[in-house]
Amino acid sequence: MSGDQLCQEIVASGAISRVIMLTASDGIADRVEGLSLGADDYLAKPFAFPELVARVRALARRSTPATPPVLRAGDIELDPAKHTVTRAGQPIELTRKEFGVLEVLLAAGGTVVSSEELLERVWDENADPFTTTVRVTVMTLRKKLGEPGIIDTVVGSGYRVPAAGQLGVEVDGPVG
């Protein structure tokens, strides 16, 4: 199997792995193609080992997986690039904060996201950690998304959108 095929399979699987292509192909078109296939980085041979180590460390510093271009949960679709949300094909108007909360929850892939993490990722560093802002935003988001609800409250922990298989969360397009 070629490296390009392997990269495509890793990306298509939805794995949260990072991919660095190490290859003798060093033309611009080759690098663009490798990155277009979903690689996170591209390093042509011969390369200096310290540079490879630095690139691996840089990828490891990314605390969260790359967000896929389109996130789905049931009949809800969120497109971060277009900044749109639809349910059963009908557009849903969300505030910037509601959109951010939904995006973080969908990207979490079924894992619980705490209110504190939502505050950190959607609001700025000046947000009061003791505020009810997250709870109120989730409440209005639930109303706008309608029934059946997709956002679960995990008492004492936070919120989640059930993972694929439980609700039908899907990812379209390459991760990266």
3-state secondary structure of 103: helix
Q: Is the peptide bond before 91 cis (omega within 30 degrees of 0)?
A: no
Q: Count CA atoms within 13 Å of residue 137 on its CB side.
A: 20
Q: 89 and 148 in contact (C-beta within 8 Å)?
A: no
Looking at per-residue pLDDT, the higher value among 89 and 127 belongs to: 89
> What residue ranges define each of the domains in the chain, with the CATH number in brackets?
3-60 (3.40.50.2300), 70-172 (1.10.10.10)
- Which residues sit opposite 70 in a β-bridge? 172
Going by C-beta distance under 8 Å and a sequence separation of 6 or more, which residues neighbour residue 111?
160, 163
pLDDT at 100: 92
DSSP label at residue 22 = E
pLDDT tens per residue across span 7-48: 878 777 766 778 888 888 878 888 888 888 888 888 888 888
pLDDT tens per residue across span 38-89: 888 888 888 889 998 988 888 887 756 555 578 888 899 998 878 899 999 9
Distances (CA, A) of 114 to 70, 126, 129, 147, 160: 23, 17, 11, 23, 9
